[in-house]
Amino acid sequence: MCALLVCASLTLGKGCRRQDGPVYPQKTWAWKSPESVGFSVTKLDAFSEKSVGTGLIVHGGKLIYEWGDTTFPNDAASATKFFYTFLTLRAIEEGRIDSLDDPVVKWVPELMDLNADLGHKDRDITFRHLLNQTSGYGLSEPPGERFAYNDHATSLLAWILFFRVYDREPMQYDEVLNSEVFRDWMGLEHHFTAIHRNTPRGRLRISARDLARIGLLHHRNGRWENRQIIDENRLQAVFDKTLPMDLPRTRGVDAEEIPGLQSLGGGKDEKNHLGCLGYFWWHNHLTPDGTRLLEAAPPNTRLVMGYGGKFVMALIPDYDLIIVWFDVYRGEAWSPFDEIGRHKVNDMFKELLAARSRAE
């Protein structure tokens, strides 16, 4: 990336300093004007007033616009599920897990005796299966055979990571979220929690600003300033892989689960993957109907989303943008994402990117 020239004066040669390398937020986010990167404030204001909720836009590591309370630790639903992928990759970096293909029964011996009538199929579940929602947990299919957007399986994954891999009791889960990586290295500003009283343990609450920080880490290929927090090749391997378009959806036949382990919020078969989902990230690829997932966004756009797209964090490398919104268009039903939400999200991107009054 070219060095950024920051000028505090219009007088040539005065009040200017040279800042080398990519910009990262420090204790708080730095700001620059929307107009400086080609956005119309008038159009952004109209967008935020219409969508309501909370949101922000980051360009080049600096905030350019926000609306609502971006500091409140919100329940962002499935828009935080990618964090379980992040925790798994960190666990590999730290030597807690050997690889994504480790059988999780090593940490969960309770799986050994499940579903004897189905050949003890759950013994073969790996981290990769859980991250790609192909584990078959709580369903009749063996791991890897079918896709199920399955919050029971995601609950199992969160429980394995916090309770077994990171060895924290349920009321200590937040110690993982307040570790050196997040507080000292990345400087998360607000309360990031997995033990909120109103949600199942393991379900995450985070502010829009802090979600954008973690998004920036992914946008910068796992690097935060002078630290490579996630190996770039390992992260890229996750980003490069989506589910095959022809991978069938679950038949929805229930099977035995670990007693007492509750869902993180939803059921076991909530939507299809459209060949655009991998490791909890949605990619702007072609779908079975021949159109892109989001026609209004550049092809290399990646996003995480919840409640059909009412909660979103999107990375748009073509424009060096990170966009976050929470709880937009309150009262409207957007789920399921594959049938309804993608069109709503596409409309959001169409309007938001139209606020770019000029190309940079």
CB–CB of 22/175 below 8 Å? no
3 state SS of 75: strand
Binned at pLDDT 50, 70 and 90, residue 13 comes out as: very low
CB count within 10 Å of CB 137 equals 31
pTM for this model (two decimals): 0.92
pLDDT of residue 85: 97
Cis omega before residue 142 (within 30°)?
Answer: no
CB count within 10 Å of CB 284 equals 22
**Which position has the token pair 């995450």?**
204
Binned at pLDDT 50, 70 and 90, residue 201 comes out as: confident
**Residues 86-92: contacts with CB under 8 Å, at least 24 apart:** 86/214, 86/218, 86/230, 87/161, 87/165, 87/166, 87/176, 88/127, 88/131, 88/161, 89/230, 89/231, 89/234, 89/235, 89/238, 90/181, 90/229, 90/230, 91/161, 91/165, 91/166, 92/234
Q: CA torsion, points 292, 293, 296, 300, in degrees to nearest 10? A: -80
Binned at pLDDT 50, 70 and 90, residue 11 comes out as: very low
Percent helix, percent strand, percent coil in the chain, to nearest 5: 35, 15, 50
Buried b (16+ CB within 10 A) or exposed e, 211-230: bbbbbbbbbbebbbeeeebb
pLDDT of residue 197: 82
pLDDT of residue 6: 36
In angstroms, the Cα distances linking 318 to 56, 322, 360 are 18, 11, 11
Around 43, how many Cα atoms within 13 Å sit in the side-chain half-sphere?
16
Average pLDDT (212-229) is 96
CA distance 204 to 206: 7
pLDDT of residue 19: 52
- Go through the domains of the chain in sequence order and give each one's CATH number: 4-354 (3.40.710.10)
Of 189, 195, 188, which is closest to residue 168 (Cα–Cα)? Answer: 195
CB–CB of 293/274 below 8 Å? yes
Average pLDDT (190-199) is 88
3 state SS of 316: strand
Over residues 15-32, the pLDDT tens digits come to: 333 456 899 999 999 999
Over residues 154-191, the pLDDT tens digits come to: 999 999 999 999 999 999 999 999 888 898 999 999 99
Q: Is the pLDDT of residue 63 over 80?
A: yes
Over residues 241-300, the pLDDT tens digits come to: 999 999 999 999 999 999 999 898 899 999 999 999 999 999 999 999 999 999 999 999
Of 225, 254, 237, 263, which is closest to residue 25 (Cα–Cα)? Answer: 225
Angle at 337 between CA 263 and CA 289, to 5 degrees: 135
Angle at 312 between CA 130 and CA 33, to 5 degrees: 140
**Adjacent-strand bridge partners of 247:** none
Length of the chain (residues) = 360
